[in-house]
């Protein structure tokens, strides 16, 4: 081997070692970055004695796609569970203290006490106070639900805007990958940036990807709707400024295709948007319908009857009084309309003894025709009607045949059942997301111990190349001395 060949080999080795060292040092520097994929510096021999470094990413497409799917599922489940936690406090209060079920239970107890001493005006006032708490629970619950739907609608609008922004950033990253791939330059950083954006996008909607020539990527949703192909597809949503019972919220459209909401406690929602849609259009409206049915049941249970006149609203009334709502038929927004009959409410100048005797709707409805102060039949019948099975609209999500008291308790049971499912599923999906992220990190992330070991090997290689240069230099010096 000639001295010039030896010199060339040593120089090539030093250059190669330098590039390898740069790659390993970069790996160590970004070891804590979850969006960084480990670089591998492969040495390639291009000719006898000549070497070059080919930099590759330790990517794992299968694990990455599994992680994207797990992130979407967790984001949708977390949105549902977090929203239900918020709803529980807003509508039912801590330990259901402000729920309609608790208020109706207190009303029933007050009725029983009044029935034992129907001449006691203080007990009569206590019944009216308890009824007022029932009305307040239903009215406040309705307002809380509609405020929650308005807030969820605003969150949907924000999420749609964020998704559009992420897709715009993805376009820039994808263009950088395409340009680098065509020119043959290292596109590892651009690929990392593109993958990081995909993770963020998957938190809003479930994504599926495939790669075309020049590493050009196309993104679709799980149902095949195009999110990105050369350019971002538009994500559109028209917010609703305020909600009332029965208001239908607007859909989220991706490339003019509506996004489906999730369903169930272990929700089918993948991505935050579908979870928020389920809260706004599924959970909250169902709770509203149940409150409306409770209100309708109360109006019916306390209705005044007459042998010659149709039943009329008694202790509890509404905007359609004096008639009572049709049996078994949901009246949207009734929980926000229900109120205490002014004829019975002393705060409105009414007479609470009309609850005992009847007659809030006129003489034809008087039950205590003798005017006895100890008359309790009507009070007892009201308490009994609260427990008597009545027809409820199955559209409210509860099909059990029960009384108003039982229905109010079932409403809490329905909510807590869905919430418990959501909680369990949230833990499961979070664990899956964490495990897939860990598996992906193990396959594509940086192990600092491994990288430091590589650095030691590279140091030895550098020392060997340096010794070759030193030897060649000494030989050249000897040669020049001999010639001179």
Average pLDDT over residues 446-475: 66
How far is the C-alpha of 115 from the C-alpha of 168, rounded, in Å?
A: 70
Per-residue pLDDT of 174-214, as tens digits, reads 999 999 999 988 888 899 999 999 999 999 999 999 999 99
Poorest-confidence range of 305-309, 384-388, 470-474? 470-474
Which sequence spans correspond to the domains of the chain? 3-58+449-483, 65-299+408-433
**pLDDT band at residue 466 using 50, 70 and 90 as cut-offs:** low
**Higher per-residue pLDDT: 43 or 101:** 101
Whether the CB-CB separation of 460 and 75 falls below 8 Å is answered with no
Residue 299 binned pLDDT confidence (cut-offs 50, 70, 90): very high
Q: Quick check: helix, strand or coil at residue 229?
A: strand
For residue 45, pLDDT over 90 is answered with no
Check residue 452 and give left, alpha or beta (phi > 0: left; psi -120 to 50: alpha). alpha
Among all chains, which residue has been given the structure tokens 């790996």?
A: 27
pLDDT of residue 55 exceeding 80: no
Average pLDDT over every residue of 309-325: 95
**Terminal-residue alpha carbon distance, the chain:** 23
Q: Are 316 and 340 in contact (CB under 8 A)?
A: yes
pTM value > 0.85:
yes
Query: How far is Cα 314 from Cα 284, in angstroms, rounded to an integer?
Result: 29
| DSSP assignments along 75-144, one per residue | HHHHHHHHHHHHHIIIII-GGGTTSHHHHHHHHHHHHHHHHHSTT-HHHHHHHHHHHHHHHHHHHHHHHH
**Secondary structure of 247-310 as H, E, C letters:** CCCCCCEECCEECCCCCCCCCCCCCHHHHHHHHHHHHHHHHHHHHHHHHHHHHHHCCECCCCCC
Q: Which of 350, 376, 347, 349 lies closest to 361 in space, CA to CA? A: 350
Place of tokens 């989220």: 252
Residue 351 has pLDDT above 70, yes or no: yes
Residue 14 has pLDDT above 70, yes or no: no
Confirm if 114 and 356 have CB atoms less than 8 A apart. yes
Q: What gap in Å lies between CA 103 and CA 426, rounded to an integer? A: 32
Model pLDDT, residue 53: 61
Element spanning 349, H or E: none
Q: Which residue bears the tokens 């309609």?
A: 100
Q: Is there a contact between 341 and 352 (Cβ–Cβ < 8 Å)? A: no
């Amino acid at each position: 081997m000639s001295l010039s060949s030896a010199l060339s080999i040593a120089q090539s080795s030093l250059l190669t070692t330098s590039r390898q060292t740069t790659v390993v040092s970069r790996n160590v520097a970004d070891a804590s970055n979850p969006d960084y994929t480990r670089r591998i510096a492969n040495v390639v021999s291009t000719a006898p004695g000549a070497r070059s470094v080919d930099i590759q990413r330790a990517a794992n497409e299968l694990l990455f796609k599994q992680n994207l799917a797990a992130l979407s599922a967790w984001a949708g489940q977390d949105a549902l569970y977090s929203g239900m936690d918020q709803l529980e406090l807003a509508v039912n209060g801590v330990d259901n203290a402000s729920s309609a079920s608790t208020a109706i239970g207190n009303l029933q107890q007050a009725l029983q006490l009044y029935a034992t001493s129907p001449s006691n005006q203080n007990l009569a006032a206590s019944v009216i106070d308890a009824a007022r708490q029932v009305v307040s629970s239903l009215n406040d619950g309705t307002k809380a639900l509609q405020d929650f739907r308005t807030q969820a609608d605003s969150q949907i609008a924000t999420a749609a805007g964020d998704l559009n922004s992420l897709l715009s950033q993805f376009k820039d990253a994808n263009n950088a990958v395409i340009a680098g791939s065509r020119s043959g330059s290292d596109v590892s950083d651009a690929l990392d940036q593109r993958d990081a954006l995909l993770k963020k996008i998957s938190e809003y909607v479930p994504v599926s990807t495939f790669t075309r020539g020049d590493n050009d990527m196309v993104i679709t949703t799980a149902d095949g709707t195009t999110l990105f192909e050369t350019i971002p597809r538009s994500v559109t949503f028209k917010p609703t400024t305020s909600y009332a019972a029965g208001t239908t919220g607007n859909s989220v459209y991706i490339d003019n295709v509506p996004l489906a909401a999730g369903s169930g406690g272990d929700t089918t929602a993948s991505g935050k948007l579908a979870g928020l849609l389920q809260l706004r259009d599924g959970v909250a409206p169902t709770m509203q319908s149940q409150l409306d049915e409770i209100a309708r049941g109360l109006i019916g249970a306390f209705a005044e009857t007459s042998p010659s006149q149709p039943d009329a609203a008694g202790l509890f009334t509404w905007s359609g009084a004096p008639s009572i709502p049709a049996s078994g038929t949901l009246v949207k927004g009734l929980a926000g309309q229900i109120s205490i009959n002014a004829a019975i409410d002393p705060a409105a100048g009414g007479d609470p003894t009309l609850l005992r005797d009847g007659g809030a709707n006129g003489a034809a409805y008087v039950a205590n025709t003798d005017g006895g102060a100890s008359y309790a039949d009507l009070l007892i019948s009201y308490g009994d009607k609260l427990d008597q099975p009545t027809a409820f609209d199955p559209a409210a999500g509860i099909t059990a045949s029960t009384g108003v008291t039982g229905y109010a308790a079932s409403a809490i049971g329905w909510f807590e059942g869905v919430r418990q499912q959501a909680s369990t599923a949230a833990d499961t999906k979070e664990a899956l997301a964490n495990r897939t992220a860990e598996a992906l990190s193990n396959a594509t992330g940086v192990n600092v111990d491994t990288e430091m070991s590589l650095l030691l090997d590279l140091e030895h290689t550098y020392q060997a190349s340096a010794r070759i240069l030193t030897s060649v230099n000494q030989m050249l010096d000897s040669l020049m001395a001999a010639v001179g």
